[in-house]
Amino acid sequence: MIKHAITKHPVLDLIKERWSARSFSPKEITTEQVHTILEAASWAPSANNEQPWEFQYALKGSAGFDSIWNCLAAGNQPWNKHAAGFIVSIARKTLSANGNPNANAEHDAGIATGYLLLQASSMGIYTHPMGGVDKVKLSNELKLTEDEKILCVISFGYLDDAEKLEEPFKGRELTARVRKPLAEFVKLVSSY
């Protein structure tokens, strides 16, 4: 598959095979499957095991799906009409024990989000995280408190044919994935 990562090192197949899809098939995803994906997220590490994440989801055909879709940026709406559902990834900004700010909240909720993407991929379910969302509008729709910060919306579903997409989405679906070489972001710490 063109979208699988070509790596220099023996990276896990699960990581190589995940990619952000846009062409979703009409096949439904069940609540049980979503719960499996979200339980995987809960097994992410977090500072003090605070688990400072929250996930709200909606399946296609529900009012929740429509209200999340309505908050997507214009460039994300067309191809997401066919998503089987959305997961809203949220960080809880304060510590449950004392209400103080949790400096690790977004980091830890981000790891949990990564876990859910990989769990979905292992189940043959494709995902697409999106920051192109009107987060103020979506916070209002979901009646979130000041403590709850939306990180991204993830659409998911089974994969359909890229040919069903219109441009520019079709072209993006067919483009190979690229990454910076390690030399650009890895440094060996040496004594100074």
Ligand X SMILES: Cc1cc2nc3c(=O)[nH]c(=O)nc-3n(C[C@H](O)[C@H](O)[C@H](O)COP(=O)(O)O)c2cc1C
Q: Which residues bind ligand X (CB under 6 A)?
A: 19-20, 73, 76, 129-132, 152, 177
In whole angstroms, give the CA distance from residue 59 to residue 29: 8
- Cβ of residue 55: shortest distance to ligand X, in angstroms? 15
Q: What are phi and psi of 18, to 5 degrees?
A: -80, 130
Q: Which is nearer to ligand X, 185 or 192 (CB)?
A: 185
Q: Which is nearer to ligand X, 83 or 152 (CB)?
A: 152
Report the side by side order of strands in the sheet with 126-130: 53-59, 85-92, 148-157, 126-130
Closest CA to 89 of 155, 152, 156, 20: 152
In whole angstroms, give the CA distance from residue 40 to residue 86: 16
For residue 54, list its beta bridge partners: 90
Q: What are phi and psi of 137, to 5 degrees?
A: -60, -45
For residue 59, list its beta bridge partners: 85
- Cβ of residue 19: shortest distance to ligand X, in angstroms? 4
- Cβ of residue 165: shortest distance to ligand X, in angstroms? 12
Q: Which is nearer to ligand X, 130 or 162 (CB)?
A: 130
Residue with tokens 């040919």: 163
Residue closest to ligand X, measured at CB: 132
Residue with tokens 């940026």: 73
- Cβ of residue 34: shortest distance to ligand X, in angstroms? 19
- Cβ of residue 146: shortest distance to ligand X, in angstroms? 21
Q: Which is nearer to ligand X, 51 or 121 (CB)?
A: 121
Q: Which is nearer to ligand X, 16 or 95 (CB)?
A: 16
